[in-house]
Amino acid sequence: MESRPLRYFVAVAEELNFARAAQRLGISAPPLSRAIRRLESELGVTLFERTTHNVTLTPAGTVLLAEARIALDALLAAGRRAQRAADPEPKLVLAVKADGDAGLLEPILDRYAREPGAVPLAVRLCGWHEQPRLLRCGEADVALVHEPFDRTGLDAETLTAEPRVVALAAGHPLADRDHLSLADLGLHAGELHRFLDEIRRETRDLAQLLALVGLGRVAPLLPASVATRYPRSGVVYRPVADAPPAILAIAWPRQSRSTATAALIRTATATAATIGDRPADQG
């Protein structure tokens, strides 16, 4: 199967509209429709249910969409990694959220630089949960990322499990309490990740998030290390004893066979196990 019909299929599956998909692909709708028909014929399945007003995925189409995304990402990543391998000065790329390393980034870099056979290491700063995409498309070799994240095509190992704190405006009614519970915040464990994702969609980084906290707009749950690393006037941090821990993992592409990548992973796990009192849980 060639990559072009898969790209065509993904465009239609994501747009659920042949005209919009054709515009996105830079082609006209009739050849796109013919290409999808040929793909369905080749596979012997119906991928879309079509009516005059609607296009929907069939069960077979839903499965193919997930697999096609993986396959197209893998092709793109293979090309990028081949280009990087041909660089006269090859290097590893570590993706990390600027304020999402639990204080481990610099110690990891320092320790890795002392490893025999270490290669130059570039740090790719990114936004909330961009790391998995960067790994899958070949723009990064390793990433530090908080759980949960999309592990499709990736392997990962836990580095730290931190208690959580809530960040509150100094004038918040709960700010005078020494300890809080999820119930105090109107939350329960099952909805925590949805709550965190909703807050992150409103901000680009931790500095912006804490600015909103200071204004009394939000009260996010954060890893406990944020309280000591990012003090801010007008913001207080309070422990939330029954909140699930904040898990920081190191992730890498499942197909990676790079000895330099393996050395960096070993360095990261060893560093996490020896820093502070946050032992690395084997994940």
Question: What is the average pLDDT score of the chain?
Answer: 89
pLDDT digits (tens, 9 = 90+) for 94-107: 999 988 899 999 99
pLDDT digits (tens, 9 = 90+) for 175-227: 999 999 999 999 988 888 888 888 877 787 888 899 999 999 999 999 999 99
Output the 3-class SS for the chain.
Answer: CCHHHHHHHHHHHHHCCHHHHHHHHCCCHHHHHHHHHHHHHHHCCCCEEECCCCEEECHHHHHHHHHHHHHHHHHHHHHHHHHHHCCCCCCEEEEEECCCCCCCHHHHHHHHHCCCCCCCEEEEEECCCCHHHHHHCCCCCEEEEECCCCCCCEEEEEEEEECEEEEEECCCCCCCCCCECCHHHCCCHHHHHHHHHHHHCCCCCHHHHHHHHHCCCCCCEEECHHHHHCCCCCEEEEEECCCCCEEEEEEEECCCCCHHHHHHHHHHHHHHHHCCCCCCCCC
In the predicted model, what is the mean pLDDT of residues 146-151? 89
Q: Tell me: pLDDT of 279 over 50.
A: no
Q: Tell me: pLDDT of 283 over 80.
A: no
Look at residue 278 in the predicted model and tell me its pLDDT: 45
pTM flag (> 0.85): no
Q: Tell me: pLDDT of 87 over 80.
A: no
d(CA 47, CA 181): 47
